[in-house]
Structure 1
């Protein structure tokens, strides 16, 4: 059964919850940072773009037969919003979805990305009963690629020049994990 709303979920150090309007400023802290957006299809956000992102995330919460779950990442011990993550159901019939994440650079290299991605896989396979979950990353984004490997995803290949990104065609590495691989791990 597909959820239309999302109860907050917790990891050891984090809370993943729905976005609310007052999150805009903390989202803008990382969303406007050129280092955070370097490998993202979006450029450093203006405040207006950050407001539009948060508004879109809130609109997802009202989707009929919801397929987009874009969530705020909150550090438990400080209640600080440190990023965003998403689980998106790309094909209900074939039970396929994809994940993504962006984290404030002050929290890089501390294991938060892996913690987030593991929880997204758990939700995808256990709550949504997905068969396959995939993720893409820029070939130069070694940190993100390392996370995908750590959570058990297998590299399926390179999508050559498939995305127009920052005035150029960009390749993306494609990683995925199947339900049976996840359950064996």
Structure 2
């Protein structure tokens, strides 16, 4: 399976598109914050680090082989404001599995944007990508993230306790997942 979707992906309120060099300042506005980096592997990013990350993301727009990822800027359709990013990573060719991820600007949280964007990527993953299982993971302390996973219909499959050192302390991580059949049964006819 190879997947090279046509962009932008549209929802009622959002446009998901490949990143461009013009996105550096908007991404730095959230990726440069300690509160955003708290649960990410990266520390807060400098503007130069954001520019490098954007440069890498401009080519992450399709799935051709295991490990490939689609990373998209999420912006509002009405005002064109970049509010965050979503990703779909092809984790296993043989088992047809993917990983879903997201990072959203704190100023735009609580409006349902992450749910709307993640739903669109689940549709892509279980539709055109024909994945069997999609999982997501987060730090156990990141309640907004695992609550989002639950709203998406994902189930908690694992709670890894003190399994790795993370930013100077022991990490606790939740894994959530949903199967293609479960996702399809939750959708309305005509969603795909």
Q: TM-score range by the shorter chain?
A: over 0.9
1:3 Cα deviation (Å)? 2.1
Structure 2 runs not aligned, ≥5 long: 187-192
Q: Is the alpha carbon distance of 1:28 and 1:20 closer, same or farther for their aligned partners in structure 2, counting shifts above 3 Å? A: same
What residue is the counterpart of 1:13 in the other structure? 13
Q: Distance in 2 between matches of 1:28 and 1:142?
A: 23
Q: Distance in 1 between matches of 2:33 and 2:157?
A: 30
1:44 Cα deviation (Å)? 1.1
Q: Is the alpha carbon distance of 1:102 and 1:170 closer, same or farther for their aligned partners in structure 2, counting shifts above 3 Å? A: same
What residue is the counterpart of 2:93 in the other structure? 92
CA contact (8 A) 1:4 1:65 kept: no
What residue is the counterpart of 1:26 in the other structure? 26
Q: Distance in 1 between matches of 2:165 and 2:177?
A: 22
Q: Distance in 2 between matches of 1:160 and 1:94?
A: 26
CA contact (8 A) 2:62 2:70 kept: no
Q: Secondary structure at the match of 2:153?
A: coil
Q: Distance in 2 between matches of 1:85 and 1:162?
A: 26
Q: Distance in 1 between matches of 2:61 and 2:125?
A: 17
TM-score, length of structure 2 as denominator length:
0.90
CA contact (8 A) 1:6 1:18 kept: no
CA contact (8 A) 2:99 2:136 kept: yes
Q: Could you list the per-position Cα deviations for residues 153-172 of structure 1 after superposition, in whole angstroms to 9, with x for gaps in the alignment? A: 00001123344422233121
After TM superposition, the structure 1 stretch with the greater mean CA deviation from structure 2, 67-76 or 30-39, is 30-39
Q: Could you list the per-position Cα deviations for residues 134-157 of structure 1 after superposition, in whole angstroms to 9, with x for gaps in the alignment? A: 000111111111110001000001
1:63 Cα deviation (Å)? 7.7
How many correspondences in the alignment? 185
Q: Distance in 2 between matches of 1:88 and 1:63?
A: 8
1:65 Cα deviation (Å)? 4.2
Runs of 4+ residues over 6 Å off in structure 1? none
